[in-house]
Chains A and B, each alone.
Chain A
Amino acid sequence: MSNTRSVQPTPSAGTVRIASGQGFWGDDLEAPVRQVRGGRIDYLMLDYLAEVTMSIMRKQQLRDPSAGYARDFVPLMERIFADCVARGIRVVTNAGGVNPTECAKAVAEAGRRAGAGGRARIGVVTGDDLMDRLDDLIAAGHALEHMESGDPLESVRPLVRSANVYLGARPIVEALRRGALVVVTGRSTDTALTYAPMAWEFGWSWDAHDLLASGVVAGHINECGAQASGGNCSADWWEIPDLARVGFPIIEAGADGSFVVTKHPDTGGVVTLRTVKEQLLYEMGDPTSYITPDVTADFTTIRLAAEGADRIRVHGIRGGPPTPFLKVSVAYAAGYKAVGTLVYAWPDAAAKARSAARILRERLDRLGLAFDRVLVELVGWDATHGHLAGEPPPDLPEVQLRVGVRGPDRAAVERFTREIAPLVLTGPPAVTGFAGGRPRVQEIVAYWPALIDRTVVEPRLNVDVVEV
């Protein structure tokens, strides 16, 4: 990589470079390719799973037993497989979704198409899927209470669509130990995809809590892709250069747990104290207790130092032991919803939109339709700041009326979707923006977070390693 050395200092010997390639299923498809080809990296981590992704994948698997994973991952691997083999870049991903085994098969085929047959191994982590064990677990006294409401899972049992345990780094490390070039997991924690390579490379023991906690912080920085390197950054956003080809973050980790957040030379975006701080606080709960399956990290101990252009050193991190529990992500069917919109124009755009909303609500009442919730927003005025936006001025050029309903009765939600268009001819004037047709009724698949005793899960975790 002599071309990169002329642009930035050679990473110090003994460091491992773990690049972030995807922050969610649907992220920039070119980013992982840029990471592989733009300079030295040792690992590429790809996070595909959000809380509700598993239930979407389950739905796909029910229609097609060979589906149920992040399909984008397969063509991506076909593009980068040869580079990964040639340069020994190992890929760690939770693209497996609810079907890691089929995902790994498809990746092996992609590897053969890319000429990597007989030259690489794929590791597959399974055992996070509790769907077939749910009744046995409940019968054995594992109530899987909702972490906020405290309700037992039994109260929604027939509605459950998927149930997966968040796994930590150990099975990934096992796959790496057995020589996997690509490790495919199901519901691994996002952070484990980054700290498993650190734990493996540096031989960290599982009671080295400070080291593992450092890895977790590195993982938190990597897991949302460009959100750590200039994307979605609120600090002087207009000064962040060249986001069109934003460089995704790279963690340059050392054996002592400290690391540098950086990105490839000649890419867009920036890595600064501000971009890193914003990502550190993203989706943060109690910062003193960031719980993962392997360690509890204390984010209040993080120390940052700027080390030159696009290089932020992160150190000083402390951690404690993990808890006796693992988190379970359950998805269950929770009724129906639909959202309809219309656009009203000047003058008195907001007054017209509000009048239309009143008429709509009266019609819904007269039809005897009951909903758990009806929400009226004026997009362009109060949809994001609510009452903090104050009263809209009469000369507002336009506003979008957005009405949503939610309830258990599909027929009622369906009828609501037929009440939007009539407002065009039967309501206030200066209305447009209905060309998209009737709103769609969506089934709500809701998230049920719960905890489970780790001893009923861990013995059943499985790591397979197959040749490409």
Chain B
Amino acid sequence: MPRIPLLELAHARSGDKGDTANIGLIAYDPVDYPLILEQVTADRVKQHFGSLVRGAVERFELDNLCAVNFLLHGALDGGGTVSLMTDAQGKVFSTALLRMEIEVSEEVAMRVAGRGRHPGRRGASTS
């Protein structure tokens, strides 16, 4: 089965609460929401971020919005004013999640190919 980056299926926004980063992940198309629920589990997200997240990863579903919310605990080097990180407030953790690859059918891969990238750059690789 083809593997595609989440970037092609979902958009996202992230923020902070102390040392915890949150990522809201939103399906572009409601038909792809079940795929996200099935594949983008808390465990897989924890694995994806590896050493970038020291604590647990939690997932909450917002079915009405075809969206999930992740809490990445211990991701911000203490957070807020304490953190030394460029992204001390987790503003772009969302984009790091969108790199994650998931398995989809040929049909889905064809339908969403290039999504999420500036039209002038479509076809460019993510990694």
Instruction: List residues of chain B with CB within 8 A of the CB of A288.
Output: 60
B24 touches A284 (CB 8 A): yes
Q: Which residue of B lies closest to A371 (CB)?
A: B84
What is the total number of residues of chain A having a CB less than 8 Å from a CB of chain B? 52
Across-interface contacts of A405 in B (CB, < 8 A): 84
Query: Which residues on the B side are within 8 Å of A76 (C-beta)?
Result: none
Which of A279, A284, A303, A339 has the most B CB atoms < 10 Å from its CB? A284
Given A278-B26, A281-B69, A386-B51, decide whether A238 and B81 contact each other with a Cβ distance below 8 A.
no
Is B118 within 8 A of A238, CB to CB? yes
Residues of B within 8 Å of A300, CB to CB, are 60-64
Whether A377 contacts B18 in the complex (CB less than 8 A), given A52-B80, A302-B64, A304-B64, comes out as no
- For chain A residues 372-402, which have a beta carbon within 8 Å of chain B? 373, 375, 377, 379, 383-388, 390, 402
Count B interface residues, CB 8 Å.
44
Judged by DSSP, the binding face of A is mixed
Tell me if A455 counts as interface (CB < 8 A to partner B).
no
Q: A283-B17, A303-B64 are in contact. Are A383 and B11 (CB under 8 A)?
A: no
Q: Does B35 contact A (CB under 8 A)?
A: no
Q: A234-B11, A281-B67, A384-B96 are in contact. Are A287 and B60 (CB under 8 A)?
A: yes
Q: A384-B86, A385-B99 are in contact. Are A280 and B65 (CB under 8 A)?
A: yes
Q: For B63, list chain A residues within 8 Å (CB).
A: 300
B contacts with A: majority SS? mixed
B-contact 0/1 string along A285-322, CB 8 Å cutoff: 11110000000000111111000000000001000000
Which one of A83-91, A104-112, A128-136, A440-448 is at the B interface?
A: A440-448
Whose C-beta in chain B lies nearest to the C-beta of A286? B60
Q: Are A339 and B69 in contact (CB under 8 A)?
A: no
| A375 and B85 contact, CB distance less than 8 A | yes
Q: CA of A26 to CA of B81 in the docked complex: distance in angstroms? A: 17
Q: What chain A residues lie within 8 Å of B118 (beta carbons)? A: 238
Residue of B nearest to A377 (CB): B86
Chain A residues with CB under 8 A of B61: 300
Residues of A within 8 A of B41 (CB): none
On whether A238 and B119 interact (CB within 8 A), knowing A287-B62, A304-B65, the answer reads yes
Cβ A282 vs Cβ B15 within 8 A: yes
CB-nearest residue of chain B to A280: B65
Within 8 Å CB of B17, what residues of A?
283, 285
**B19, B79, B82, most chain A CB atoms within 10 A:** B82
CB of A462 within 8 Å of the partner chain: no
Q: Quick check: A386 and B26 within 8 Å, CB to CB?
A: no
- Is A148's beta carbon under 8 Å from chain B? yes
A234-B11, A402-B86, A404-B84 known; A282 vs B99 contact (CB < 8 Å): no
Distance of A52 Cα from B83 Cα, bound (Å): 13
| 7 closest residue pairs by CB, A with B | A281-B24, A404-B84, A283-B15, A235-B11, A375-B84, A278-B13, A383-B86
Which residues of B come within 8 Å of A, CB atoms? Answer: 11-13, 15-19, 22, 24, 26, 28, 48-52, 60-65, 67, 69, 71, 77-82, 84-87, 92, 94-96, 99, 118-119, 127
Please list the residues of chain A having a beta carbon within 8 angstroms of any beta carbon in chain B: 51-52, 148, 227, 232-235, 238, 274, 277-288, 299-304, 316, 334, 337, 339, 373, 375, 377, 379, 383-388, 390, 402, 404-406, 444-447, 449
